[in-house]
Structure 1
Amino acid sequence: MTPKAREFVLAAERRLLDPAVRRDRSSVEALLHPSFREIGQSGRLWDREATIAALAEESGDDFHGAVDMSEIELQTLCDSTFLLTYRLRVEDRWTRRSSIWLLTVHRARLIFHQGTKEPSVSGIGASEVSVDETT
């Protein structure tokens, strides 16, 4: 994967986290592949049209505070298909996210996304808690 491809995918993902982009139907349509599917945090399966409609109705409250991406990993699945995984912090909430992006010469398009809430233990993110599985 070239550094340019990496930046292209990361920039596209960050655009989808921008409240102004999320509420703009034409911007979201340009970023989502026609076959887009999402498994939401609730477990619901979303198609492209339902996702676009839901994002257009967002108040922006989901992302009104500090947004921080961490543990970013980008893997090449094939020549122009990439799996992006990362943790997202919005204020004191953490989620694990995965996105599959298809790249063309002109743009990146998201074909699949899943977001999963991380459980919190006394305000500590789940990945920061050590669990002894031998007991």
Structure 2
Amino acid sequence: MTGVEEAIAGELRLVDPGVRTSRERAERLLDPDFVEVGASGRRWTREEMLAELPAMEGAAPDGPRYEISGMRGVQLAPDLVHLTYETVIDGRRARRSSLWRRTPGPAGDAGWRMYHHQATPVP
């Protein structure tokens, strides 16, 4: 699997309610230095995101789900991928951009993780 394919797979896992409600599963996908600038303009750290993710939109198995379109990726360096795409959830649309980086580590801890994410609302 290419870096772009791995990053896309990780991005899709992060919108899965089973991952959003499991701190253990979400931790494996977020880089230790993760930062997000959400559609609200709020800046999120990794710890803040992990704590709030189970209560955020898209986490309830029977609630609204993210509809993703136009996902594209570019490998910027051997260990860095940039993804862009759009989402709609509960009638709200956003353009999204993510940086994924591959980190070395012991078995089970190495791999591609989201390093930065930004969401911009679209009227």
TM-score normalised by the chain length of structure 1:
0.76
For residues 34-53 of structure 1, what are the structure 2 equivalents within 5 Å? 34-53=32-51
Judging changes above 3 Å, is the alpha-carbon distance between structure 1 residues 95 and 112 closer, same or farther for their aligned structure 2 residues? same
Report which of the two has the higher share of helix. 1
- Specify the alignment match of 1:81 in structure 2: 80
Gaps of 5+ in 1: 120-135
Shift of 1:65: 3.5
The alpha carbon displacement at 1:77 in A equals: 1.8
- Residue number in structure 2 paired with 1:31: 29
Aligned residue pairs total 117
Give yes or no for contact 1:23–1:58 (8 Å, CA) kept in 2: no
| Aligned alpha-carbon RMSD (Å) | 2.2
What CA distance in whole angstroms lies between the structure 1 residues aligned with 2:115 and 2:36?
Answer: 8
Structure number with higher relative contact order (C-alpha < 8 Å, ≥ 6 residues apart): 2
| Structure 1: distance between partners of 2:2 and 2:21 | 27
- 1:112 — aligned with what? 116
The structure with the largest alpha-carbon Rg is 1
TM normalised by structure 2 equals 0.83
Percent sequence identity over aligned pairs: 36
Runs of 4+ in 1 over 6 A off after TM superposition: none
Asked if the contact 2:3/2:81 (under 8 Å) is kept, the reply is no
User: SS of 1:82's equivalent?
Assistant: strand
